[in-house]
Amino acid sequence: MTDTPTPDQTNDRHREKMQKRKVARDKIMASKTEERGLIIVHTGKGKGKSSAAWGMAARCIGHGYKIGIVQFIKGRGDTGEHMLFTKFPDQVTYKIMGEGFTWETQDRERDIEMAGAAWKESKKLMADPEIRMVILDELNIALRYDYVDLDDVLDTLAHKRADLHVVVTGRNAKDELIELADLVTEMTLVKHPFREGVKSQPGIEF
């Protein structure tokens, strides 16, 4: 017959195991000393690519940093993120430069013109030494349709200020951008309510 450990023994064993884990973890964390501006990419077919960027925007605003946001595709200003972040005009420069997805605008030349203007604005924000994070929302879409020159984007990001974080969102991120980035997350769709007749709702999708 095996001895069943008493709750006290279980708790002691747990503590011992966790103490060992903490020592190992502290050692790993101590080796991570570098602070640097990151190139972050959120891509994939799942939800949460832009939301996670807004979450980082929220974190930056909470810490008192200045940030820049450029939306390359989406054109509406009645989103929750826009309504919240524009309450902090001293910290947030928010540029809605898109006019909708390609099937909404139906005008390729106009799309290219708008994307060019958005990219110009993005470069301006990235050049501002006071800005800690620039979010380029849906830039991946503009790159995919060749609305913005990939080489120019790669070159600009490769030569960005060392302490600037840049977050790029959108499906189908270019391989060259993934290669250049520090942190890449793919949002994978597991289940989506759109498939079941549920419409886009405030607070969730916008």
- Rounded to a whole number of angstroms, the minimum distance from the CB of residue 1 to its own copies is 25
Contact between 163 and 20 (Cβ < 8 Å): no
- Rounded to a whole number of angstroms, the minimum distance from the CB of residue 188 to its own copies is 4
Q: Which is nearer to its own copies, 1 or 175 (CB)?
A: 175
Surface-to-core class of residue 161, CB atoms within 10 Å of its CB (0-12 exposed, 13-18 middle, 19+ buried) = middle
Give the separation between CA 48 and CA 40, rounded to whole angstroms.
14
Q: Is 88 helix (H, G, I), strand (E, B) or coil?
A: coil
> Which of 19, 40, 199 is CA-nearest to residue 135?
40
Q: Which is nearer to its own copies, 1 or 28 (CB)?
A: 28
Give the separation between CA 146 and CA 43, rounded to whole angstroms.
17
- Rounded to a whole number of angstroms, the minimum distance from the CB of residue 90 to its own copies is 14
- Rounded to a whole number of angstroms, the minimum distance from the CB of residue 118 to its own copies is 19
Q: Which is nearer to its own copies, 41 or 126 (CB)?
A: 41
Q: Which is nearer to its own copies, 117 or 206 (CB)?
A: 206
